[in-house]
Amino acid sequence: MNRRCVIVGGAAIEDYKTIQKHLFDSDFYIFCDSGLSHISALGVKPDLIVGDFDSHSNPHLNVETIVLPCEKDDTDTFYAVKEAIKRGFSEFLLIGVVGKRFDHSLGNVSILYYLDSLGMQGIILDDYSHMQIVSCEPVYVEDSYAFFSLLNISGKAEGITIENAKYPLENAKITCEYQYGVSNEVLPGKTSKITVKNGKLLLIKVLKD
């Protein structure tokens, strides 16, 4: 299936116009519980609604709805991802999943690692940045971003190479205990190339104001 799945969580979104630039009519939209509060501002219609409705009332729309129990192992967002995988999706955009609740935010970032472990693509988009995983395939960063950071939150990451950046690396290592890959910059007019031989890194590309 080539169609992308967009999952909408309930975290605050301030700049809807920026988010809308990355949404397409061909996307399959899953709204999770309080993510329903974003329907009007995003201007898209849900294809599926998922939630235990502990933070938003069930709107009882004429849309397929999966009602979850409040006590469960998966968050509403993680359940939505698993459900989408069952339906054949392999490319994901997650919005409204990073916000004030750091525990929820970090839990949602782990979804990117989960998707990567399955050989699938996942991106988190918020008001300030794009997040994705760098693992077995090269990832490129354009100079349209203000900064980019590489963080290790999953264990060993070795053989890291960064090209065309203010702070280049060659065959380097970043550990969870020493995060020195913060706030790098793409050289003007260039595109940075990032590769990792062993392990995974979280790439955060910071948008320009």
Per-residue confidence (pLDDT) for residue 166, from 0 to 100? 98
| Segments of the chain scoring below 50 in pLDDT | none
Predicted structure pTM score: 0.93
DSSP symbol at 22: T
DSSP symbol at 188: T
Per-residue confidence (pLDDT) for residue 1, from 0 to 100? 62
Q: Identify the structural domains of the chain with CATH numbers, from first to last.
A: 5-127 (3.40.50.10240), 134-207 (2.60.120.320)
Per-residue confidence (pLDDT) for residue 161, from 0 to 100? 98
Cα–Cα distance for residue pair 65/191, rounded to 1 Å: 42
Per-residue confidence (pLDDT) for residue 43, from 0 to 100? 95
CA-angle at 5, arms to 34 and 100, nearest 5°? 35
